[in-house]
């Protein structure tokens, strides 16, 4: 499977990241990455993929608290530089994992020459084998993955190592003290 495009989008309401891959064979793979998963995997990824040269990461636009953060996307190129302005193509016809994204519960990675092989596993039932996606990342795509995750993690308040701190949010109805007219909470 050869990756054509990669997109990451922080879903504030669910407090997780939607990772989408388009392949050159016109398939789209969808994966959910949770804070708990990234807390363990992020340091492993940082250890395998060196930091990009300064100035290589463009800033993503911030979303308002009531809307989902805009997707951060790239089309891998032969060099470590990616095209962040290219829209993610949503017209891929095959969804081999189905429409519901795989909820990644385990990640393993290993070096295969200059490629980084990553296995994403969803194991929701300890008695069942679970679903797995195996992807090999070329050197340029490894950098793109690290850059996109760095930018996306900067939209969260997870404060993982080597990620930008999330800017303070403007006051909203969710941040104001409860009043008699307020009947519920989001979480």
- Look at the block and give the residue holding tokens 């997109």: 7
pLDDT of residue 84: 56
**Domain span at residue 129?**
3-153
Residue 174: inside a domain: no
> How far is the C-alpha of 115 from the C-alpha of 134, rounded, in Å?
12
pLDDT tens digits, one per residue of 89-146: 667 678 999 899 999 999 999 999 999 999 999 999 988 889 999 999 999 899 999 9
Spatial distance between the Cα atoms of 34 and 23, rounded to a whole number of angstroms: 23
Q: Is residue 165 domain-resident? A: no
The answer to whether residues 4 and 75 touch, using CB atoms and an 8 Å cutoff, is: yes
Asked whether residue 105 is assigned to any structural domain, the reply reads yes
Q: Is 170 inside a domain boundary?
A: no
For residue 94, being part of any structural domain is answered with yes
Which ranges of 10-96 would DSSP assign to H, the alpha helix? 35-48
Tokens 């993929």 belong to: 49
Q: Does the pLDDT at position 157 exceed 70?
A: yes
**Total count of domains within the chain:** 1
Residue whose C-alpha is closest to residue 151's, from 70, 81, 49: 70
């Amino acid at each position: 499977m050869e990756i054509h495009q990669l997109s990451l989008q922080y879903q504030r309401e669910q407090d997780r990241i939607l990772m989408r891959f388009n392949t050159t064979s016109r398939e789209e793979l969808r994966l959910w990455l949770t804070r708990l998963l990234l807390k363990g995997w992020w340091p492993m990824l940082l250890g395998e993929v060196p930091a990009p040269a300064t100035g290589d990461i463009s800033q993503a636009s911030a979303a308002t608290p009531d809307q989902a953060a805009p997707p951060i996307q790239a089309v891998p190129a032969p060099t470590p530089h990616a095209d962040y302005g290219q829209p993610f193509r949503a017209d891929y016809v095959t969804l081999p994992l189905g429409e519901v994204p795989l909820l990644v519960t385990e990640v393993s990675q290993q070096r295969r020459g200059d490629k980084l092989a990553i296995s994403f596993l969803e194991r929701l039932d300890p008695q069942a084998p679970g679903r797995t996606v195996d992807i090999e990342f070329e050197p340029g795509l490894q950098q793109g993955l690290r850059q996109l995750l760095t930018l996306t993690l900067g939209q969260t308040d997870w404060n993982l190592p080597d990620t930008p701190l999330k800017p303070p949010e403007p006051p909203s109805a969710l941040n104001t003290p409860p009043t008699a007219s307020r009947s519920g909470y989001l979480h």
